[in-house]
Structures are given as structure tokens and as C-alpha cells.
Chain A
């Protein structure tokens, strides 16, 4: 067995983190342990729950289903990058207003998935939105409030765009 170490740079929310990891280190573990960004949560660690969803070059991915070495130099976005200072993103605000979280464990994953949806297809139809939100598991509030929050954020962003 080889425990060879690799020097890589993870670019998370625009900031470079030069780190040294084994090849078997998952991207999720590296973000949490080496970069110290613990907003990205790990639930199942085998691609089912979606708690570790991050954006890789603006695409939502399961950070537990990638090795950190594969993300060397790529643009990674995590929940820590959503707010600007004390100003929450429209989706974060909508999650609070629509009661789209209770225990909060799944929330970072849903926020990153929802952010990707709002960026790529803000006028998404209900059927497709429900299908995409079923990517991640939430066992507290259920999905109706999360769906409402994504819709509310889309409306708020549209209004902001107009104003």
C-alpha cells in the first residue's frame, strides 16, 4: 500500500489553499480538515444524502464522490462563500423566512444545490425542481418548505434584477 502524499491547491470561494493529502482523501474531507471549512457536511459518505454537495466549476457535485487530488486548481464553492459579509444570499434569506431548515445538517448541501439551480435555470418548472431537490435528503422540515424557499429566492432575485 502506498501512502504517497500529493501537493495540490484547492481554490475554495476564490481563496487558494495549498495542501498536502493522500490520494484517497475525498474532496469533502479535504475541504473540512485541510482547509478548515466545516460548513460542508458529511452524512452518508457514499453519495446518497447530498449533505456534502459543493459547486465545482459551477456544477453541483457530491464532494464525497471525488478525490481532493481531482479538484486541484478547480474553482470550488462552498456554503461559506454564499454570504457577502453579513449579507446573506437571497436563498439563505429565503431558507430562514420559509422555515426550510430545522436541525440544519442538510442545509449546506441544499443551499449549494439550490444555488446551482437558481444560477442555471431560475425559471425551472415545478416537476424538474422537485426532481432535482430529491437529490438530497432532509429528514426534518420536509421538502415543501425547501421548494418554497427556492421559489421565493428566484422571485426575490428577479425583483432585484428589475430594480
Chain B
């Protein structure tokens, strides 16, 4: 057996899960949701949690519903569930496109959206989606509930605002307005491998000019980020290859890449241009 021994807990309700987590957090107790990142780490014994709180038996954690302008995503919603047929509209179209870049099908049937956010790998596609669209995270412990914006939630490589006894009980993604266009581009060395650079662009086209643009970049810095200066350059302008190239070039000097790999910034530039071009329906 490769993983080190641990004590297994299988709560059936949220209250029970939070109570167990509060009790075992000081002894390196962790939540087990999809386990698709945690289990490989345990197989290498890089993680040796003394307790695992398996939340897969909590029925309410399967929450997936569009309500009040947001998509509410519970902790046991799998990657494979995000997009058609369960999530429709422009947000569903974006999620369905992004989903295909997350590992492989047998991983997507187990791994969870909230688990990816809590893990906060800089190469995580769902972290980029959350940062770009401005998701709100609902953090809960036996002590109470906090709501944290994506910009404050992601704090660095595999580091989030979550305290040891807190659990991400819900992520709320703003629905995209009807007619919103979106584009996603990711560069990875092999299909399903970690992103070296990726970008998401969303905007609407009103009278031929871009409105409410959002542009996010992931896999380059230690956390996913929005690029507000780039968004300001896009706002009110007609989409064009020349503008997108100028926006990408302008974004580069402000970036702090995780590695000194000289290609990383060029990949970032390409990802930004291609995500914008895909959203606009322009050739890449």
C-alpha cells in the first residue's frame, strides 16, 4: 500500500463534516472530495494526512443550480458535470470548452470543481475561470460562514484564504449575460497535461464594439489573475488582430512569471491573443 495510514471519516451531513473537520484539523485532517490531486500526492507520500474527511456521502454537496444570477456549485460537483447538458447558456458553453482541457475523462468523472479551487494549483483551469469571472467563495467552519471574492481567495501556489478548519462549501460563478462571447486558449505539452499558459476572454459586441470585457491569465504567475489594464484597452473598441496583439504586448511587462523559463511570457502573449481571437471569432 503506497499511501500512509490515516483515519477515515465518512460524514453524511454538512454539520457532521464541519464538526469532524474542526476536531481533526489540528492533526492535519483534510477533506477528501474527488481525490484526483490528493491521492497521487499521498501515493508519493508527499502528503501524509492523519485523517481524511470523505464528503462524498453528503447528498447536499451535489448542489448545482443557476439561481439569482449565479451558478451555485457544491463541493461534490465533478468536472464532467460543468457544461452541457447540465449547465446551459453562455456560461455553460465556456465551462464545456474549458472542461475538455482538464486532465482526462476518467479524472473528470471524479475530480471536483471546488476541490480544484481549494487545491489552488496555478495551472488549474477552474481557478482561472473563477478569477476571470469574479467568483465568490463560501467558506464555512463550525465557527461560521465567510464569503470571499476570488481575487482574495487565491493567495499563491496552492495557497488560499481557507483556514485549516474551514471548508469551501460552495463556489458561485456569475452567469454570463445572453449574447456574451467567450474564448479560451491553453498551451500544454500534451493533451490533458498541466497548462504552461492559458487565457480566457469574455465580452459582448454592441454595434461592432466590445463591451464589458474580461480577460484572465493563468499558469504563468503564482495564481490566476485578471488583467484590468488590458480590459480597459479593449472596452469600446472593435475587435481586431492588431488591437489584440497590442493588448497582449502591453500586458507582458506587468507579469511576474513563476519560472525564469524565457518561453513563458511568449506563451502568455500567444494565449491572450488566441483567447481574444476565439471570443471575437477572428482567425488566430
Report which A residues bind B (CB closer than 8 A).
1-4, 6, 22-26, 29, 45-47, 50, 53, 56, 59-62, 64-67, 69-70, 113, 116, 131-132, 134-136
What does the 1/0 interface line of B148-192 toward A look like (CB < 8 Å)?
Answer: 000000000000000000000000000000000000000000111
Q: Contact check: which of A6, A23, A45, A64 meets B6 at CB < 8 Å?
A: A23
Query: CA of A4 to CA of B7 in the docked complex: distance in angstroms?
Result: 7
**Any chain A CB within 8 A of the CB of B119?**
no
Contact status A45-B109, CB under 8 Å: no
Residues of A within 8 A of B191 (CB): 131, 134
Residues of B within 8 A of A62 (CB): 36, 106-107, 110
Q: A45-B43, A64-B39 are in contact. Are A24 and B105 (CB under 8 A)?
A: no
Contact status B36-A1, CB under 8 Å: no
Q: Can you offer 6 A-B residue contacts whose CB atoms are under 8 A?
A: A1-B5, A6-B8, A22-B1, A26-B39, A50-B106, A66-B39
Contact status A131-B106, CB under 8 Å: no
Report which B residues bind A (CB closer than 8 A).
1-8, 10, 35-36, 39-40, 42-44, 50, 52, 54, 56, 100, 104-107, 109-110, 190-192
Residue of A nearest to B78 (CB): A59
Residues of A within 8 A of B52 (CB): 23
> B7 → chain A, closest Cβ, in Å?
5
Contact status B110-A24, CB under 8 Å: no
Contact status A24-B104, CB under 8 Å: no
Residue of B nearest to A60 (CB): B106
> A8 → chain B, closest Cβ, in Å?
11
> A81 → chain B, closest Cβ, in Å?
17
Contacts A62-B36, A67-B8 known; list 19 others, CB within 8 Å: A1-B6, A1-B50, A2-B6, A6-B8, A23-B5, A23-B6, A23-B8, A26-B2, A29-B1, A46-B43, A46-B44, A50-B104, A60-B105, A60-B106, A60-B109, A131-B100, A134-B104, A134-B191, A134-B192
> B182 → chain A, closest Cβ, in Å?
20
Residues of B within 8 A of A47 (CB): 36, 39-40, 107
Secondary structure call for the B interface: loop
Residues of A within 8 A of B100 (CB): 131
> A58 → chain B, closest Cβ, in Å?
10
The A-B contact count (CB < 8 A) is 92
Residues of A within 8 A of B106 (CB): 50, 53, 60-62, 113, 135
For the complex of A and B, 3 pairs with smallest distance between CB atoms? A135-B104, A23-B8, A46-B40
Residues of B within 8 A of A53 (CB): 106
Contact status A66-B110, CB under 8 Å: yes
> B74 → chain A, closest Cβ, in Å?
18
> A74 → chain B, closest Cβ, in Å?
10
Query: CA of A17 to CA of B191 in the docked complex: distance in angstroms?
Result: 37
Q: Contact check: which of A59, A65, A116, A136 meets B39 at CB < 8 Å?
A: A65
Q: Contact check: which of B35, B54, B109 meets A59 at CB < 8 Å?
A: B109
Contact status B110-A65, CB under 8 Å: yes
Q: A60-B106, A134-B104 are in contact. Are A24 and B36 (CB under 8 A)?
A: no
Contact status B110-A61, CB under 8 Å: yes
Contact status A3-B5, CB under 8 Å: yes
Contact status B8-A135, CB under 8 Å: no
Residues of A within 8 A of B1 (CB): 22, 24-26, 29
Contact status A24-B109, CB under 8 Å: no
